[in-house]
Amino acid sequence: MSLQGVCTQDEWLARGAFCELLALSLRLPTLELAQALCSGEFAEALAELGERVGLEQSQLAQATKAVTDYQGQDPDELFHTLRIEYTRLFVGAPTPVVWPYAGVWHALEQGLEPLMFVSPRAMEIERFMKGCGVGRAAEKNEPLDHIATEFEFLQYLALVNAAVIELPELPEGLEMPDNAFDAFLAQYVTNWAGDFARSTLAAAQAGFYQAVAKAILALVLE
């Protein structure tokens, strides 16, 4: 898998940057994101980082092509379009078209009632993150099993491995798992991100989210 294995510092930095790009893509869109799409900066970053982490070239080209069409468009108009599409796909009323939470996917797979925050899978993810010095900010009321948060966490672990940031002092009784990046990717990301991406690809009306879905599929199904 492209993001697993022993790496040099530069390779860890590339993996961290790629995870950051996916995380930004899976958050509520900002005007800055729309501007990066319209200028071509996002397409360039996706192509470069995808190549650096070793995504298969034809899959990467498909994902990149879907975002190059935004070049030259009006950023303000695109910003509003992406916000509407993001809300339809991942927020919804009363439920999203595509659930962005690992715990919900796991519960539905097991035939259980999906619960926010207190699902077994969400609590497992929270414990894993705490063991690596990461917890939910007091002012934020969002489950840590959101797909964007998972990629943000992988970015953090990649930067720890690159020795760019220092692992914080852990609470007594907690110890960072061995090969935490690979372990978290295998246990809590790849086992549902493919289904998430396929559902997003089928439901998305905006080329941007189709591109993000293709990038995720190229990553987790390689």
Rounded-to-integer distance, Cα 34 and Cα 25, Å: 10
E strand or H helix that includes residue 81 = helix 75-86
Greater model confidence, 121 or 1? 121
Predicted confidence at residue 113, as pLDDT, reads 72
Flag whether pLDDT at 61 surpasses 70: yes
pLDDT in tens, 166-184: 877 777 767 777 789 999 9
Structure confidence at residue 187 (pLDDT): 92
Cis peptide upstream of residue 94 (ω within 30 degrees of 0):
yes
Q: What number of other Cβ atoms are within 10 A of residue 4's Cβ?
A: 15
What's the confidence (pLDDT) of residue 32? Answer: 97
Q: How confident is the model at residue 110 (pLDDT cuts 50, 70, 90)?
A: confident
User: Cβ-count burial of 77 within 10 angstroms (0-12 exposed, 13-18 middle, 19+ buried)?
Assistant: exposed
Measured distance CA(20)–CA(154) in Å, rounded:
8
Indicate the pLDDT class of residue 7, thresholds 50, 70 and 90: confident
Q: For the residues 189-214, what does the mean pLDDT come to?
A: 95
* pLDDT for residue 1: 44
What's the pLDDT at 93? Answer: 76
pLDDT score, position 107: 86
* Per-chain mean pLDDT for the chain: 88
Q: What is the mean pLDDT of residues 72-83?
A: 97
| Predicted pLDDT at 117 | 59
Confidence at residue 4, expressed as pLDDT on a 0 to 100 scale: 58
Q: Average of pLDDT values for 120-127? A: 89
